[in-house]
Amino acid sequence: MTTTQSRQSLLDTCIQDCLDCLRECEYCATACLDSDMVQMMAQCIKLCRDCADICDICARFMARNSDLHAQLCAICAEACDRCAAECEKHDHQHCKKCAQACRRCAESCRQVAKATA
């Protein structure tokens, strides 16, 4: 595999991980909003929404090969780490799935940021 193919494969994986994370964050935020404990889940909802938004823009910047995608990946990794840490505090299945998706996405984003730096 050439360096260009390897880089594209890394980007493709990261784009997919961002989209998967976006989806799980949206599911988690919606489930938290629909629960009887909305107030207790407020921080989880906020972080899931932030994470979903940054994952969306990060995937889009990578897809268009923006010169800013590496910096955005670093920020996305941070947002994913924060969201995962919050979701891991809760015992709900949707929070567990969200935390897993966030951890995968954070790792992919760190790899892209490192490879592009």
pLDDT at position 75 is: 97
d(CA 105, CA 13): 9
Please give the residue range of the domain that contains residue 97.
3-116
Residue 49 per-residue DSSP state: H
| Tokens matching residue 95 | 């929070």
Q: Contact 53/21 with Cβ under 8 angstroms?
A: no
CATH of the domain at 11: 1.20.1270.360
Task: Annotate 65-95 with DSSP letters as a single string.
Answer: T-TTHHHHHHHHHHHHHHHHHHHTT---HHH
Number of folded domains that form the chain: 1
pTM of the predicted structure, to 2 decimals = 0.93
pLDDT at position 7 is: 84
**pLDDT beneath 50: ranges in the chain:** none
pLDDT at position 2 is: 61
Q: Contact 51/25 with Cβ under 8 angstroms?
A: yes
For the chain, the C-alpha Rg in angstroms (whole number) is: 14
Helix (H, G, I), strand (E, B) or coil at 68: coil
